[in-house]
């Protein structure tokens, strides 16, 4: 499942460099690296005048959410006073001139806003005696004028339409909408106890899977809603399936006694392989491999084509593919804030590089991997984490900055300041 939509960016590659740094050879290296980093920062500070940092101050306060599009900064103001109605404030970029203000038509706790074409989509949960659950409101991006509202959270479909999903204990609905006016293209019900998942690629959702408790599983075309495949998978294992996940072109079911993970081709639901689940609760895409992650940390990696075990480790908490490698966090550092990041070979699990401790800025699809962490003298240290090369390039130290950073497709970094306002910096090239 996905959250609010984000603009899709283009990844700008530098020259490929497979000469990765060697893993640590002794216990003294971390200290020496810290000393070298400190000396580097000191030398940079004393090297004379720096190029003028491009920064734009933007309004904000605690509890507000913000979005940067190609030409707008949009602030979702927090709840305040007796009314739960929220207001949007839009500021034009790059100059910072006021554009428009608009009130959201339904009272609620809105947690995100995204751009889709000429529309801005605000998503939240309605409050009040007649609340209907999750709601998405569409506004004109240029003027803030109200366009339409529909129940559910949005995801981008591969054909440019929107998929809105709304589920509660009594069931729910999946509906595809034209973003221009909220016209329903297709919709299907979700029965009580049913679940759904979808494959979300670079261009949006193209496959939707509906699974019914102890019943059939259906694969739908995300563009048309047509059923591509349907089967009673529960009958193929000794016990009902307890979970369904999509990993690239595979549909994985967790079920049986003992619990097994069984892989099927997504479009035809033809069985590919099966392996004991052991303690695995969650499967994720690891490029040519499938990562099976445990509740208590650690993972097992199997070949996506055969299910054959490739390697396993209790050291890594979360991993995800990037630039043909795996970016991994250690179990000991897992949690909010900065985490220890390493680059792994997906086929062997060998550590190719130690990137250090960073908090990843939210970034658009295919955008740069930007890490931030608190600087000892205040502010945030910002770095470009090159996963393919296994290197860290220091970019800047941003003063008076608290965090909550977002890397945006315009080559800028939006961060919250100590006073809860925002600032927009242009990242060095």
Does residue 174 form part of some domain?
Answer: yes
Task: Assess whether 141 and 196 both reside in one domain.
Answer: no
**What are the pLDDT digits (tens) for 119-168?**
999 988 876 666 668 889 999 999 999 999 998 999 999 999 999 998 87
The per-residue pLDDT of the chain, averaged, comes to 81
Task: Assess whether 174 and 89 both reside in one domain.
Answer: no
Confidence of residue 13 (pLDDT cuts 50, 70, 90): very low
Which residues are CB-contacts of 15 (< 8 A; sequence separation ≥ 6)?
none
Which residue(s) pair with 103 in the sheet?
87
Indicate if the pLDDT at residue 224 is higher than 90: yes
Quote the CA–CA distance of 20 and 377 in Å, as a whole number.
31
Given this model, what pLDDT does residue 256 score?
Answer: 76
Greater model confidence, 63 or 149: 149
Task: Assess whether 116 and 136 both reside in one domain.
Answer: yes
The pairing of strands 309-313 and 299-303 is antiparallel
Given this model, what pLDDT does residue 364 score?
Answer: 59
Tell me which residue range forms the domain holding 187.
154-277
Does residue 283 form part of some domain?
Answer: no
Does residue 45 form part of some domain?
Answer: no
Quote the CA–CA distance of 12 and 368 in Å, as a whole number.
8
Burial tier of 374 (Cβ tally within 10 Å: 0-12, 13-18, 19+): middle
Q: What is the mean pLDDT of residues 345-364?
A: 90
Assign residue 75 the CATH number of its domain.
2.40.10.480
Task: Assess whether 143 and 162 both reside in one domain.
Answer: no
Most confident of 26-30, 54-58, 83-87, 264-268: 264-268
Quote the CA–CA distance of 341 and 335 in Å, as a whole number.
12
Q: Which two tokens stand for residue 175?
A: 């509906």
Last residue of a domain, one of 151, 180, 205: 151
Q: Give the Å distances, CA to CA, from 119 to 2, 143, 149, 181.
A: 19, 10, 12, 10
**What are the pLDDT digits (tens) for 187-222?**
999 888 788 999 998 789 999 999 877 678 999 999
């Amino acid at each position: 499942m996905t959250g609010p939509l984000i603009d899709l960016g283009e990844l700008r590659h530098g020259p490929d460099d497979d000469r990765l740094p060697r893993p640590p050879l002794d216990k003294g290296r971390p200290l020496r690296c810290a000393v070298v980093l400190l000396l580097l920062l000191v030398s940079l500070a004393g090297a004379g005048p720096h190029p003028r940092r491009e920064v734009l101050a933007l309004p904000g306060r605690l509890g507000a959410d913000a979005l940067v599009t190609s030409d707008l900064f949009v602030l979702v103001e927090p709840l305040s006073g007796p009314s739960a109605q929220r207001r949007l404030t839009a500021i034009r970029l790059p100059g910072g001139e006021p554009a428009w203000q608009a009130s959201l038509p339904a009272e609620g706790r809105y947690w995100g806003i995204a751009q889709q074409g000429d529309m801005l989509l605000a998503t939240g949960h309605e409050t009040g005696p007649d609340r209907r659950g999750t709601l998405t409101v569409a506004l004109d991006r240029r003027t803030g004028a109200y366009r339409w509202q529909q129940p559910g959270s949005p995801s981008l479909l591969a054909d440019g339409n929107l998929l809105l999903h709304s589920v509660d204990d009594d069931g729910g609905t999946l509906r595809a909408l034209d973003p221009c006016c909220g016209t329903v293209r297709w919709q299907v019900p979700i029965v009580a106890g049913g679940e759904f998942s979808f494959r979300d690629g670079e261009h949006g959702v193209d496959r939707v899977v509906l699974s019914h408790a102890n019943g059939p599983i259906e694969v739908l075309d995300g563009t048309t809603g047509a059923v591509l495949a349907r089967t009673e998978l529960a009958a193929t294992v000794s016990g009902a399936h307890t979970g369904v996940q999509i990993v690239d072109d595979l549909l994985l079911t967790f079920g049986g006694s003992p619990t097994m993970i069984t892989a099927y081709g997504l479009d035809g639901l033809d069985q590919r392989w099966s392996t004991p689940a052991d303690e695995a609760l969650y499967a994720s895409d690891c490029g040519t491999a499938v990562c099976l992650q445990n509740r208590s940390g650690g993972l097992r990696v199997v070949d996506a084509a055969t299910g054959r075990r490739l390697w396993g480790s209790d050291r890594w908490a979360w991993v995800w593919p990037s630039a043909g490698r795996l970016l991994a966090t250690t179990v000991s550092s897992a949690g909010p804030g900065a985490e220890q990041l390493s680059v792994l070979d997906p086929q062997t699990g060998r550590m190719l590089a130690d990137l250090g401790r960073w908090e990843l800025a939210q970034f658009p699809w295919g955008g740069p991997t930007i890490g931030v962490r608190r600087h000892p003298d205040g502010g945030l240290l910002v770095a470009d984490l090159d996963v393919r090369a296994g290197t860290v390039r220091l970019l800047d130290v941003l003063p008076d900055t608290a965090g909550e950073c977002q890397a945006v497709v315009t080559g800028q970094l939006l961060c919250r300041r100590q006073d809860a306002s925002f600032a927009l910096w242009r990242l060095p090239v």
